[in-house]
Amino acid sequence: MKKIAVLTSGGDAPGMNAAIRAVVRQSIFNQVSVVGIRYGYQGLLEGDYLPLEVGSVGDIIHKGGTSLFTSRCPEFKTEQGQIHGMRRLQKNGIDGLVVIGGDGSFRGAQKLSRLGFPTVGIPATIDNDIVGTDFTIGFDTAVNTVIEAIDKVRDTATSLERIFVIEVMGRSKGDIALWAGLSAGAESILVPGVKPDMDAIVKRLIQGKQRHKKHSIIVVAEGVSSADQVAKAITEKSGLETRVTVLGHIQRGGSPSAADRLLGSRLGARAVDQLLAGKSGVMVGVKNNCLVDVPFEIAISENHELSISLYELAQSLAI
Ligand code: ADP
Ligand code: F6P
C-alpha cells in the first residue's frame, strides 16, 4: 500500500481533526503518502483530492468541526455512484481509504470494501450510536457542552425557582441525554427505549416543590419528543409553569475534549495500521479501553443499547 486517502462524512464531530491528523502522521511515519478528500463522498466523486504532508495537519488537533469539510451525498447511495467513486480513487493511484463518520458513512464504506476497495472506518458522531465501540469521537465533547449549558440554565432556574425542560440531540438514541442528564444532576431524563411516565415526572416535580426545591431540570432526548411537548404535558397535568431550552447545534461544535483528542489519535493511527496489515470492511473502535476491529455489518446494525445501569442510577440519585 503506497497511498492512502482519508475523508470525513455525514455530521461533523469534535475530535475528527485529531483523527485526520493521526491518519496523516501515521501514514507518513510508515512511508505511505496520504491524500485528503474534501467534502466526504461528494468530494470523492468530484475528485476534490489534496496531497497532505506532516505540516498540513499542524494546528488542527484542538479545533472542532473537520478541516476536510463534510457533506451528505445522495449520489453515493447508488451502486453507480459507488463504482464511479472506486474508479476515481484507483485513477488517482489510491490503494486504501479511511472513512471518518457515523453509521451512514459506514454504509458507503461497506459498499466500497464489498466492491474490493480496501476501506476502514473510524466512528465519529456525537450520538455515540455505533455498535461495537464503547465511544464514538465527539460524544465526550458534546456531553461536556450539554453539561455546561445545563449548569448555566440551572443558575437562572434556581434564582426564579423554575422548572426547565432541556432538549438534547442524539437522533434516535439517548446516550447524550443520559450521560449529560446524570452528570448535570437532572431530576428526570427521557430517553428512547424507556416509555416516559409523565405522571411519575409530575409527581416528582410536585414533591420537589413541597420540599422547597429551588429548581428542576428535565432532559429530553430529541428521539423521544420535543421539549415543547413535554413542557406542555407537564403544565396540563400539574398547572406548573415551565421553560424550554433546545440546545441544538451548539452540541456539535467546540474544541474537542481530551478524551476525544485521545480517541481520535488512537483510532486514526489504528485505522492506518489495519489498512497496512491488509484489513478492509472494518471499523476500528474501543472496548474496555482496548482497540478493536468491528466488521461494518455489526457497526451499522441497529442494536446500540443504552446503559440500563446508568439509567437506573440516574433514577435513584434523582429522588
Ligand atoms: P452519518 O455518517 O453521520 O451517519 P449520514 O447518515 O448523513 O451521516 O451519511 C453520510 C453519507 O454516507 C450520506 O450522505 C451518503 O453519501 C453515505 N451513505 C449513507 N447511507 C448510505 C448507503 N446506504 N449506501 C451508500 N452510502 C451511504
Ligand atoms: O448525528 C449527529 C446529529 O447532530 C444528530 O444528533 C442530530 O439529530 C442530527 O445530526 C442533526 O442533523 P443536521 O445537522 O443535518 O440538522
Question: How do residues 151-183 score in pLDDT, each as one tens digit?
Answer: 999 999 999 889 999 999 999 999 999 999 999
Q: What is the pLDDT of residue 307?
A: 93
Catalytic residue among 127, 129, 175, 293: 127
* Active site (annotated) includes residue 260: no
Question: What residues does CATH 3.40.50.450 cover in the chain?
Answer: 3-138+256-301
Q: What is the pLDDT of residue 304?
A: 83
Indicate whether 36 pLDDT > 90: yes
Ligand 2 near 11 CB (within 6 A): yes
Span from the CA of 49 to the centroid of ligand 2 (angstroms):
26
Q: Assign residue 54 a region: left if phi > 0, alpha if psi is -120 to 50, beta otherwise?
A: alpha
Indicate whether 305 pLDDT > 90: no
Question: How do residues 223-267 score in pLDDT, each as one tens digit?
Answer: 999 999 999 999 999 999 999 999 999 999 999 999 999 999 999
Indicate whether 319 pLDDT > 90: no
Q: How confident is the model at residue 120 (pLDDT cuts 50, 70, 90)?
A: very high
Span from the CA of 121 to the centroid of ligand 1 (angstroms):
13
Ligand 2 near 170 CB (within 6 A): yes
Question: What residues does CATH 3.40.50.460 cover in the chain?
Answer: 139-253
Question: How do residues 179-224 score in pLDDT, each as one tens digit?
Answer: 999 999 999 999 999 999 999 999 999 998 888 888 899 999 999 9
User: What share of the chain in percent tops pLDDT 70?
Assistant: 100
| Cα dihedral sign, 126-19-77-49 | positive
Ligand 2 near 171 CB (within 6 A): yes
CATH class assigned to 3-138+256-301: alpha beta
* Assigned architecture for domain 139-253: 3-Layer(aba) Sandwich (3.40)
The mean predicted confidence, pLDDT, of the chain is 96
- Taking alpha carbons only, the member of 291, 264, 289 closest to residue 279 is 291
Nearest CA owner, ligand 2 atom 10: 11
Indicate whether 303 pLDDT > 90: no
Q: Assign residue 47 a region: left if phi > 0, alpha if psi is -120 to 50, beta otherwise?
A: left
β-sheet bridge partners, residue 188? 218
Nearest CA owner, ligand 1 atom 6: 104
pTM above 0.95, yes or no: yes
Span from the CA of 175 to the centroid of ligand 2 (angstroms):
14
Ligand 2 near 243 CB (within 6 A): no
Ligand nearest to the CA of 102: 1
